Amino acid sequence: MAYCSGKYKRKGFTLIETVVALALLSMALAGPVTLATRSIFNTRFSKNKLTAAHLAAEGIEIVRQKRDSNIMAGNDWATNLCGSGSACSYQGDVTGAWLSCVTCNAALGYNGSTGLYTQGCSGNCTGFTRVITVDR
């Protein structure tokens, strides 16, 4: 603290002391704020990766189920699957049919009340797409 000689004494901080204190406080808060921000980003990224993995696994299970049903019925395993070497998408939640890949690049929709993803979206689009390619 600085004191002035004479009748009046000045008590308080100088401008330099205040600036240094604010700089130290800012540096002390920057670390936790950065950590919290990165944590939120990484949580969202991990959630999206997990959702994408589950959507891919669901696509594989759809093909396996169709293949097994075809074999059990005595048909060729690829009956009612998309054509050999062509990409397609399964609209199982709506029609149970394969769609040509004209709409494959469309984002999947998410129905919050049922928790299901749908091919194509109307209103509640996600950042996910799913394309299934069957090779014989």
And the tokens for 25?
């406080």
Report if pTM > 0.75: no
pLDDT digits (tens, 9 = 90+) for 70-85: 899 998 887 777 765 5
Instruction: State the pLDDT at residue 99.
Output: 60
Work out the pLDDT band at 103, boundaries 50, 70, 90.
Answer: low
User: Between vectors from CA 119 to CA 128 and to CA 77, what angle results, nearest 5°?
Assistant: 105
**What's the CA gap between 102 and 5, in Å, rounded?**
87
The pLDDT tens digits of the residues spanning 39-53 come to: 999 999 999 999 999
Beta carbons within 8 Å of 98's beta carbon, 6+ residues apart: 80, 81, 82, 88, 89, 90, 91
The ranges assigned to domains in the chain are: 30-133
Range in 19-23, 91-95, 99-103 with the lowest mean pLDDT: 91-95
CB 108 within 8 A of CB 92: no
| Closest to 116 in 3D by CA, of 82, 91, 88 | 91
| Cα gap 101→89, rounded to integer Å | 6
Rounded Cα distance between 136 and 120, Å, is: 27
Tokens standing for residue 11: 């008590």
